[in-house]
Structure 1
């Protein structure tokens, strides 16, 4: 068992030190595009993986049907080239100016 844990740690170290990939932590704001959606509906770019969700004191391993909530802290692993796409997926929704224009 310890050998397997050591192998996994070594593999994680290689990923963290890889110049092509990066871990990203982000907290879902109340207006986040991702809040209220399931992991499957996020449409993350292919070279990005949602690794974990910290919800209060709980640490969740996400699955496709896991629903994200405001305040969740999500950890993703993605290739550096798709960081901006990942940030857009978790950004706040744009507010419509329609209501202001009609006044």
Structure 2
């Protein structure tokens, strides 16, 4: 359906509903580009924020797992050091031989 835009319409004649809808949704390239740019910037910001937050969450999880592992290793090292100190104390006091107290070694921490 072609319509010449140079023709004047009579004063009392209404456009059909279909022609009104076509004119209502007719956008120029510049208007369409402007709308797309306006919508693209907030969407890009949302995507960037989501990706950054996910990366920070992942880094925090890795950091907490590393800290828990380090804490467990430190606790094991402290227990081992305390055991060595207790054994050394028993040895220094001469309580590790069979004649002093036969169960001293078994009762050591």
State which structure, 1 or 2, has the greater radius of gyration over its C-alpha atoms. Answer: 2
Say whether the fold is shared (TM-score over 0.5). Answer: no
- TM-score bucket of the superposed structures, by smaller chain: under 0.3
| Structure ranking higher in strand proportion | 1
Specify which structure has the bigger relative contact order, considering alpha-carbon pairs within 8 angstroms and separated by 6 or more residues. Answer: 1
| Structure ranking higher in helix proportion | 2
Scaled by the length of structure 1, the TM-score of the pair is 0.22
Scaled by the length of structure 2, the TM-score of the pair is 0.21
